[in-house]
Amino acid sequence: MVAITVPISVDTIPLVKCANAAAAAVPSVDLSAPGAAAAVADACRGVGFFRATNHGVPAALAEALEERAAAFFALPHKDKLEASARPLGYGSKSIGCNGDVGWLEYILLSVGSGSVAAASLPPLLRAALEEYTDAVREVGARVLELMADGLGVAEEHRGVLRRMVAPDEADELVRVNHYPPCPCPLAAGQRGVTGFGEHTDPQIISVLRSNRTGGLQIMLPDGRWVPVAPDPDSLFVNVGDSLQVLTNGRFQSVKHRVVAPAEGQQSRLSVIYFGGPAPAQRIAPLPELMREGERSLYREFTWAEYKKAAYKSRLGDHRLGPFELPAAKEPNSSDQHSSSNAVQPPARAPPHVAPVY
């Protein structure tokens, strides 16, 4: 692999060594199991993140995309720049336009009309991206139905979340991140170089796959950072900010970050599908979920409004803050959705918590 050739000023992330905590903290859900809906909802309430197994995406699709993406990132830097088209296309180092940087290079593309808008990419990579994205989009849609089911939404309304990420209308993105080994020296092995700084995803849902190189970390509700063991056979699902609002805080948007590989390690390659709604879609707690006497924790906004605000912020900002309303009234205990699996929205994790060493 060819490392990023343009000099970069990098931050460092404290390395976390919580293998036991991580194993317990990252739920694993078999999407083909009878209890998948309840398991998905529990994971999204507790962590906002889970490993999805038996997801149905053929291994050959993921492997072909990984191989062709690796070949693209191995090209000379000047050749990769031919695929640049800000804010989409190829990029390196800069994440957004507000000063965030990381030790990575990436391809960021819009998904429209059932295909990936990637005309400037090599044809084989473009084809692999389109096939893979189509398959993962279906996984995301199925997971959204499981979420609605797990929340107790009536059967006739269980497509309410899925319809918000319907093809041809939704604002969907696919991102391929490449983190080459970083030659920057570490302080006694205690710190890692920032690959992608801590943040939440603004969309409704994110579906991620990586190769066998670790680096991803998630923040637990108690403020601890834990590493996520790589598993190329599984997909990982993130709750996004918009889904947190749509569920009135029942599901929590997970804060996550990536530590770049150290010198001598294999590159990390990850592919993320982001499912967002149409620009004019209004984002507010779903009426199908609201209990008697329950108030919204958020003011209503459109996806276009939230996306614009999010892209003006820094990665680590608490983006939902300006959209929050005063604490809501306790829901009526006799609500039809109340059960052991449908509970009062959990308390939010504080936006800034000291990391674990």
Q: How confident is the model at residue 336 (pLDDT cuts 50, 70, 90)?
A: very low
pLDDT at 354 (0 to 100): 27
pLDDT at 99 (0 to 100): 85
Average pLDDT, the chain: 85
Q: How confident is the model at residue 178 (pLDDT cuts 50, 70, 90)?
A: very high
Lowest mean pLDDT among 33-42, 268-277, 337-346: 337-346
pLDDT score of 327 more than 80: no
Q: Kindly report the pTM of this predicted structure.
A: 0.86
d(CA 162, CA 185): 46
pLDDT at 94 (0 to 100): 86
d(CA 67, CA 339): 46
How confident is the model over 67-80, as pLDDT tens digits?
A: 999 999 999 999 99
Q: How confident is the model at residue 4 (pLDDT cuts 50, 70, 90)?
A: very low
pLDDT score of 112 more than 80: no
Lowest mean pLDDT among 20-29, 89-98, 223-232: 20-29
- Give ∠ CA 52-56-59 in degrees, rounded to 5: 95
pLDDT at 319 (0 to 100): 94
**CATH H-level, domain 8-321: superfamily:** B-lactam Antibiotic, Isopenicillin N Synthase; Chain (2.60.120.330)
Where exactly are the structural domains of the chain?
Answer: 8-321
Lowest mean pLDDT among 33-37, 184-188, 258-262: 184-188
pLDDT score of 188 more than 60: no
Percent of the chain with pLDDT over 90: 69
- Greater model confidence, 117 or 313: 313
Q: How confident is the model at residue 186 (pLDDT cuts 50, 70, 90)?
A: low
The letter for the amino acid at 176 is V
Question: Are the CB atoms for 132 and 145 separated by under 8 Å?
Answer: no
